Amino acid sequence: MGKSYLSFSATVILQAVANGYQYGFDIMDMTGLPGGTVYPALRRLEDMGYVLSKWEKHEIAQRELRPPRKYYEVTDVGAEALAEAVKRYRLLDQQQRRALRTRPSRGRA
């Protein structure tokens, strides 16, 4: 797979996933981006091989009276792409360091 240019918003989303924000609403809350930006970007990132996704068990969502969540995680290729993109967007590098200190401690389904 050749190198692909990541837009600023795709980079912010990939960075959020890398920092432990694992599902759509969580990513939207962290980034301030709307669902119409986040969800299509997550699909593209998955198509590019930068993130993997997995649906949580239906029983967990049912117990919490909500729809099942789709959890995302960054692949090795995605981590490399993120490192390259962060070099282009210096502000994100500062945010990355700050976010690593305040990473959420959420369990995965």
Under DSSP, is residue 74 helix (H, G, I), strand (E, B) or coil?
strand
2 in any annotated domain: no
pLDDT band at 87 (very low <50, low <70, confident <90, very high): confident
**Residue 58, phi then psi, degrees to nearest 5:** -55, -35
Q: Residue 1: inside a domain, yes or no?
A: no
For the stretch 10-61, pLDDT in tens is 999 999 999 999 999 999 999 999 999 999 999 999 999 999 999 999 999 9
Q: Determine the Cα–Cα distance for residues 79 and 76; give it in Å rounded to an integer.
A: 5
The whole-model pTM stands at 0.80
Question: What is the chain's alpha carbon radius of gyration, rounded to the nearest angstrom?
Answer: 14
Q: Is the pLDDT of residue 96 over 90?
A: no
Task: Say if 73 falls within a structural domain.
Answer: yes
Backbone angle region of 2, left / alpha / beta, with phi > 0 → left and psi within -120 to 50 → alpha: beta
> What secondary structure letter does DSSP report for 81?
H
What residue numbers bound the domain in which 15 lies? 8-101
Q: Count the domains in the chain.
A: 1
Beta partners for 72? Answer: 53
CATH of the domain at 25: 1.10.10.10
Query: Is 3 part of a structural domain of the chain?
Result: no
Residue 30 lies in a domain: yes
pLDDT band, very low/low/confident/very high, at 1 (cuts 50, 70, 90): very low
